[in-house]
Amino acid sequence: MAARIPAVPPVEAAAGRPPPKPAPFTRRKIRSAAWQTALALALVAAGYFAHLNITRNLAASGVAIDFGFLTREAGFDVSEQLVAYTPKDSYARVLFVGLLNTLLLAATTLLLATSVGLAVGVASTSRNWLVRNLARIYIELLRNLPKLLILLALYIAMVRGLPLVRAAWTLPGGALLANRGLYLPWPEMPVGAGLTAVVVGVWIAATSVWARMVKRHQDATGVRRPLALPSVLGLTAAIGLALATGLVELHWSMPALTGFNITGGAHLTVQFTALWVSLSIYHASQIAEIVRGGIVSVDKGQREAAAALGLRPGRVLRLIVLPQAIRVIVPPLGNQYLNLIKNTSIALAVGYSDLVGVMNTAVNQTFRPVELMLVVMLVFLAINLSTAAALNWFAAWSRPPGKTR
């Protein structure tokens, strides 16, 4: 007699059962937790022994770690400041001024470098021979030059090549360019600045919620609702309503030659402008190569299928190629952003008062290198960790449904 084969439960019954819950403790989880705990204890021990070594060496020299000097009068001025500061203010205040200068330089450079890098990266994959090769020349030339050399060359060219203030060049939009820097038209709000800040904050929160709703609707139905147009119209309508009702007053301050100087508008010094442009074009070449690699990583057959459906190259790039390439672009782009933020420390070469430059002056006056370097290290660590967290959030937000990595 043939052996009876046990009946296999139907697929429907198996599918209707709830999946078994994973065991809370497995050998793999215990081993992983043990290694992580050991690593954490090793790091704590290393930090403790380093602290003991530093304090003992300083005590042998008659020096103790003390942060009380931060409340004392700094006694030196800075060339550029975004908040009110005088030499009679404390060292903590001047470090804050240097931090704001660093954040301003990093933020503006990230914006310009990303914009230029994205455009050049897309151009390097163009079918046009001239556009493609010009983009490749830009990438290969600038990313293989030292950034400090680019900065010094641009700074010297601006100082020696730009005209005096009395013969400043007039740029489109009313901007002026001279050997003292770049002067830009700037909006002024004598009334309603706080209300405008609240409106912009609400607009950012509403745009984030709407973007998430658009993404969920697209994942569920495949239909993409408009995102940019409602967002821009909403902000325009809110600001327009505030201006029409008189709750907000907006005036433009235009730069103009007054005597031997230029008054009005926003003034970007030669040091800041040289740093901003040189770091932007250098890191834009790095970002462009990252973007090119992400675009090339997308299967060529998808472009051909989209072209066969009649989609234009611009829509193929925006709707098919870039959404998939972004998952490849974001991780190395994050490393490039962190490098850019750290590279702002070369501002010392042209006399820009960033956080590192202010720290060096404070060290020469207070002879507190350990305390000041520790403060600057913690500040840069906080900035870079925040940037990395924001990029990780963006990578998770842009990941399609069902992708866990």
Task: Show the domains of the chain with their CATH numbers.
Answer: 91-167+270-398 (1.10.3720.10)
* Alpha carbon distance, N-terminus to C-terminus of the chain: 53
For residue 349, the Cα-to-chain-centroid distance in whole angstroms is: 22
- 54 vs 381 pLDDT, higher one: 381
What is the average pLDDT across 306-312? 83
pLDDT, tens digit (0-9, with 9 covering 90-100), for 272-290: 999 999 999 999 999 999 9
Angstrom distance (rounded) from CA 342 to CA 129: 36
DSSP β-ladder status, 176-178 and 169-170: antiparallel
pLDDT at 401: 54
Q: How many secondary structure helices (H) and strands (E) does the chain include?
A: 13, 8
pLDDT at 376: 92
pLDDT at 12: 47
pLDDT, tens digit (0-9, with 9 covering 90-100), for 235-281: 888 888 888 888 888 888 888 888 778 888 888 889 999 999 999 99
**Residue 383 — very low, low, confident or very high, per pLDDT cuts 50/70/90?**
very high
State whether residue 372 is helix, strand or coil. helix
Q: Where are the alpha helices (DSSP H) in 187-227?
A: 193-221
pLDDT at 399: 66
Whether pLDDT at 95 is above 80: yes
| Residue of 402, 384, 396 lying closest to 103 (CA atoms) | 384
Whether pLDDT at 25 is above 80: no
Letter for the amino acid at 132? R
State whether residue 204 is helix, strand or coil. helix
pLDDT above 90 covers a percentage of the chain that reads 32
Q: How would you class 83 by CB atoms within 10 Å of its CB: exposed for 0-12, middle for 13-18, buried for 19 or more?
A: exposed
For residue 200, the Cα-to-chain-centroid distance in whole angstroms is: 20
**Residue 22 — very low, low, confident or very high, per pLDDT cuts 50/70/90?**
low
What is the average pLDDT across 28-35? 85
Angstrom distance (rounded) from CA 131 to CA 139: 12
pLDDT at 138: 95
